[in-house]
C-alpha cells in the first residue's frame, strides 16, 4: 500500500493495511527528525565502544571516572517519580505478540515491560505489528483468538513500560538518505507519537526501559532524544520516564552518572543480570586470568554479581530513584511436580533476597510467577509501595569488588553441552521469528544465548577453560558435540531448517578467531 514518506526516507518492508495506522506521515516525520539530529552522535558512541573494547583487550581495567567525581559526590536527586511508577514490586516482561501482551497486562503484576528488544525477534512484522498491538492495548481494544479461546484485557491491568532496541541495533527496513535508522529511535518515536497523550489521559504516561548502555554519554543521548521528542509532539519536559538496565560491566562503573544524565526523565535502574554476565565475558574475553564456571553456577550470590546488585540498590535510593531487581529465568514446570517445586523455590529465594536487600521490585518472565514473587515483596514491604528509604550506608563497593570474577570452576561437559544446546535452540527459534523461548524449563532470550556462545568462545581460548575431568575445551571438541546437541534440539522441537542453520551459525560464532560483538547483528541480516 502507498504511504507518504518524508523526503529521503525509504521503507522496504511490506506495508500491510494495519500498518498504515502506525506508519503515518506525522509519526514518520518524528523518526526522520530524530534520525537527522542524533544519528551522527549514535555512530560516534558506537565507535567509542569499539575503541574502549580495544583498550580492554590490551589489558586496561575499568574504574570509576575521575572526571565525574563531582557528580558522584554531589547532592542531587532525580525528578519526582510519577504515581503510576511508585509501586513496581513485580514487573513482568515479554515480547509484543498479541496473546503475550494481553496475558502480561492481565497477570496481576504491578508493571509490564513490553519488549521490542531481547525477547523479540526483530523482523519487520514483529516490530510494526507490535506497535499495532500496543496502540490497541492502551485503548483497551486489543483482543486475540487462538485455538478457540478468546483473549481480552481485564479492567485492571499492569502499568506499561516499553523497551526499544539498544543503540547498536539498526532498523534495516527504513533508511534516510540511504542510511539505516536506529532501531531504538524507530521503536521509541512510533510508540511515543501514537500513545503518549492517550497514556497521560488514562493516568499513566510514556514510560520506557533503556537497554545495553555502556556509558553516561549514551544516557545523555537518550535524554536529548527525549527533550526533542517532547518538544515535537507538545509534551511538558520530564513527561517521559525511563528506567535504565544496567546490563554491561562498563555501565556499572557509571550508574550515578547515568542517573544524573537522565535525572529529569529517570525512573531508576534495573539489574539486568544475564546481559551483565555476557558483558563481563565479552569485555574480558582475552584476559588469561578471567574464566567463569558453568553458567548455572554464576548466580546473584557470586562476588561480582553481589557487588553489582548492592551498588545499584544503594545508588538508586541515594538519588531518590527506584531500584528494580533482575530476571530469574525459571518458569513453572507443569508436568513434573518435583521439578516445579525446585523451580518455585528458586524464584522465591531470588525475590526474597532482592526484597530483603532493599529492592523496590523484581522481574518475572511468566504470569504463573507473579503471585509467588509478589508474596515475597509484600512480606517485606507490607503495604508500602517501595523501599526508597532503605539507603544501605553499610554498602561500600570498590572497583575490585566489581571485578572479582568468581566462580571459575567447575566447567563440566554437561555445562558445555548445555551452552551448545541452548545456543542452537534459541538461534533457531529467533530465525523462525520467536525471540522468547522456554528451553529446559528456563525462559531464554537473546541475553542467555549470548552467554552460551561467548562462554564457549572464551573457554576455547582461556588456559583455564578446562573441564572438571581434565580435558581442555577446544574448537574440535565443540565441533564434535554440535551435531549431537543439534539432534537433541530437533527431536524436541521438530525439524525446522532454521535449526540446521542455527547450528552452523553457533559453530562459526563460538570457534572463529574474531569475536562477534552481538550475535543478533549478523543474525539480523538473515531475517
Q: What is the pLDDT of residues 275-304, one digit of tens each?
A: 999 999 999 999 999 999 999 999 999 999
Contacts of 234 by beta carbon, 8 Å cutoff, 6+ apart:
none
Cell numbers placing 273 = 543480570
Q: What is the pLDDT of residues 104-129, one digit of tens each?
A: 999 999 999 999 998 888 999 999 99
Cell numbers placing 488 = 537433541
> In the 8-state DSSP scheme, what is residue 473?
P
Burial class of 275 by CB neighbour count within 10 A (0 to 12, 13 to 18, 19+): buried
Name the average pLDDT for the chain. Answer: 95
> In the 8-state DSSP scheme, what is residue 173?
E
β 241-246/207-210 pair status: parallel
Counting every residue written for the chain, the total comes to 527
Task: Please give the Cα distance from 289 to 320 (Å, whole number).
Answer: 38
The residue assigned the cell 581442555 is 472
Strand partners, 245: 270
Who has greater pLDDT, 442 or 376? Answer: 376
pLDDT of residue 212: 96
Burial class of 148 by CB neighbour count within 10 A (0 to 12, 13 to 18, 19+): exposed
Does residue 65 carry a pLDDT above 70?
yes
Count Cβ atoms below 10 Å from residue 368 Cβ, excluding itself. 15
Give the SS3 label for residue 364.
strand
Cell numbers placing 222 = 537518550
Q: What is the pLDDT of residues 304-363, one digit of tens each?
A: 999 999 999 999 999 999 999 998 777 888 888 888 898 899 899 999 999 999 999 999
Task: Please give the Cα distance from 94 to 434 (Å, whole number).
Answer: 11
Q: What is the pLDDT of residues 194-252, one digit of tens each?
A: 999 999 999 999 999 999 999 999 999 999 999 999 999 999 999 999 999 999 999 99
Give the SS3 label for residue 2.
coil
Using CA atoms, how far residue 518 sits from 40, 81, 212, 393, in Å, is 21, 33, 11, 37
Q: What is the pLDDT of residues 257-276, one digit of tens each?
A: 999 999 999 999 999 888 99
Phi/psi of residue 116, nearest 5 degrees = -90, 5
> In the 8-state DSSP scheme, what is residue 320?
T
pLDDT of residue 156: 96
Contacts of 330 by beta carbon, 8 Å cutoff, 6+ apart:
343, 344, 346, 347, 350, 369, 441, 442, 443
- Order of all β-strands in the sheet with 170-176: 9-11, 170-176, 179-182
Q: What is the pLDDT of residues 380-412, one digit of tens each?
A: 999 999 999 999 999 999 999 999 999 999 999
Q: Among the residues of 17-122, which ranges form H helices?
A: 25-57, 69-73, 98-105
Count Cβ atoms below 10 Å from residue 175 Cβ, excluding itself. 17
Annotated catalytic residue within 170, 294, 360, 445: 445
Task: Please give the Cα distance from 85 to 160 (Å, whole number).
Answer: 10
Section 144-160 average pLDDT: 96
Who has greater pLDDT, 446 or 307? Answer: 307
Closest C-alpha among 362, 417, 359 to residue 390: 359
Q: What is the pLDDT of residues 241-252, one digit of tens each?
A: 999 999 999 999
Strand partners, 151: 144
Section 488-510 average pLDDT: 90
Is 445 a known active-site residue?
A: yes
Does residue 183 carry a pLDDT above 60?
yes
Cell numbers placing 355 = 526484597
Who has greater pLDDT, 443 or 483? Answer: 483
Contacts of 125 by beta carbon, 8 Å cutoff, 6+ apart:
13, 14, 433
Task: Please give the Cα distance from 267 to 256 (Å, whole number).
Answer: 13
Does residue 495 carry a pLDDT above 70?
no
Percent of the chain with pLDDT over 70: 100
Annotated catalytic residue within 88, 163, 263, 392: 163
Give the SS3 label for residue 243.
strand
Q: Do residues 137 and 153 lie in contact, with contact meaning Cβ atoms separated by under 8 Å? A: yes
pLDDT of residue 209: 98
Contacts of 518 by beta carbon, 8 Å cutoff, 6+ apart:
168, 450
Task: Please give the Cα distance from 174 to 171 (Å, whole number).
Answer: 6
Task: Please give the Cα distance from 246 to 213 (Å, whole number).
Answer: 7
Half-sphere exposure in the Cβ direction for 404 (13 Å, CA): 14
Phi/psi of residue 502, nearest 5 degrees = -60, -40
pLDDT of residue 1: 57
pLDDT of residue 442: 73
Does residue 481 carry a pLDDT above 90?
yes
DSSP states along 332-354:
--TT-HHHHHHHHHHHHHHHHHH
Who has greater pLDDT, 404 or 519? Answer: 404
Cell numbers placing 77 = 536527586
Amino acid at each position: 500500500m502507498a504511504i507518504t514518506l518524508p523526503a529521503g526516507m525509504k521503507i522496504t518492508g511490506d506495508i500491510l493495511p494495519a500498518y498504515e495506522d502506525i506508519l503515518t506521515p506525522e509519526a514518520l516525520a518524528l523518526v526522520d527528525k530524530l534520525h537527522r539530529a542524533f544519528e551522527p552522535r549514535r555512530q560516534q558512541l558506537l565507535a567509542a565502544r569499539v575503541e574502549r573494547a580495544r583498550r580492554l583487550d590490551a589489558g586496561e581495567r575499568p574504574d570509576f571516572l575521575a572526571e565525574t567525581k563531582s557528580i558522584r559526590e554531589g547532592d542531587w536527586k532525580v525528578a519526582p517519580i510519577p504515581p503510576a511508577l511508585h509501586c513496581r514490586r513485580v514487573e513482568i516482561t515479554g515480547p509484543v505478540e498479541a496473546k503475550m501482551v494481553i496475558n502480561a497486562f492481565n497477570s496481576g503484576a504491578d508493571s509490564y515491560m513490553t519488549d521490542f528488544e531481547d525477547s523479540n525477534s526483530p523482523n519487520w512484522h514483529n516490530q510494526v505489528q507490535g506497535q499495532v498491538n500496543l496502540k490497541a492495548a492502551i485503548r483497551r481494544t486489543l483482543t486475540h483468538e487462538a485455538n478457540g479461546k478468546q483473549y481480552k484485557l481485564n479492567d485492571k491491568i499492569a502499568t506499561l513500560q516499553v523497551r526499544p532496541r539498544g543503540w547498536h541495533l539498526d532498523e534495516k527496513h527504513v533508511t534516510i538518505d540511504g542510511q539505516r535508522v536506529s532501531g531504538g529511535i524507530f521503536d521509541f518515536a512510533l510508540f511515543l507519537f501514537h500513545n503518549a497523550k492517550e497514556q497521560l489521559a488514562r493516568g499513566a504516561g510514556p514510560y520506557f526501559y533503556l537497554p545495553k548502555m555502556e556509558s553516561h554519554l549514551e544516557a545523555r543521548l537518550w535524554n536529548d532524544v527525549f527533550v526533542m521528542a517532547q518538544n515535537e509532539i507538545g509534551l511538558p519536559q520530564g513527561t517521559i520516564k525511563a528506567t535504565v538496565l544496567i546490563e554491561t560491566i562498563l555501565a556499572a562503573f557509571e550508574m550515578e552518572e547515568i542517573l544524573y544524565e537522565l535525572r529529569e526523565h529517570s525512573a531508576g535502574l534495573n539489574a539486568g543480570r544475564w546481559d551483565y554476565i555476557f558483558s563481563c565475558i565479552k569485555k574480558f574475553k582475552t584476559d588469561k586470568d578471567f574464566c567463569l564456571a558453568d553458567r548455572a553456577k554464576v548466580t546473584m550470590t557470586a562476588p561480582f554479581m553481589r557487588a553489582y546488585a548492592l551498588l545499584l540498590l544503594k545508588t538508586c535510593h541515594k538519588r531518590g530513584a527506584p531500584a528494580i531487581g533482575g530476571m530469574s529465568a525459571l518458569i513453572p514446570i507443569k508436568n513434573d511436580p518435583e521439578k516445579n517445586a525446585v523451580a518455585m523455590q528458586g524464584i522465591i529465594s531470588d525475590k526474597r533476597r532482592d526484597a530483603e536487600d532493599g529492592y523496590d521490585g523484581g522481574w518475572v518472565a511468566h504470569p504463573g510467577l507473579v503471585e509467588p514473587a509478589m508474596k515475597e515483596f509484600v512480606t517485606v514491604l507490607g503495604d508500602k509501595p517501595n523501599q526508597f528509604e532503605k539507603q544501605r550506608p553499610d554498602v561500600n563497593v570498590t572497583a575490585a569488588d566489581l571485578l572479582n570474577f568468581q566462580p571459575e570452576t567447575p566447567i563440566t561437559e554437561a555445562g558445555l553441552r548445555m551452552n551448545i544446546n541452548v545456543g542452537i535452540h534459541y538461534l533457531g527459534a529467533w530465525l523462525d521469528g520467536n525471540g522468547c523461548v522456554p528451553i529446559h524449563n528456563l525462559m531464554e532470550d537473546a541475553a542467555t544465548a549470548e552467554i552460551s556462545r561467548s562462554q564457549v568462545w572464551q573457554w576455547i581460548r582461556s588456559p583455564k577453560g578446562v573441564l572438571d575431568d581434565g580435558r581442555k575445551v577446544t574448537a574440535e571438541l565443540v565441533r564434535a558435540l554440535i551435531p549431537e546437541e543439534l539432534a537433541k534440539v530437533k527431536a524436541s522441537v521438530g525439524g525446522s531448517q532454521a535449526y540446521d542453520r542455527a547450528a552452523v551459525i553457533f559453530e562459526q560464532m563460538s570457534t572463529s578467531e574474531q569475536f562477534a560483538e552481538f550475535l543478533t547483528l549478523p543474525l539480523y541480516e538473515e531475517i
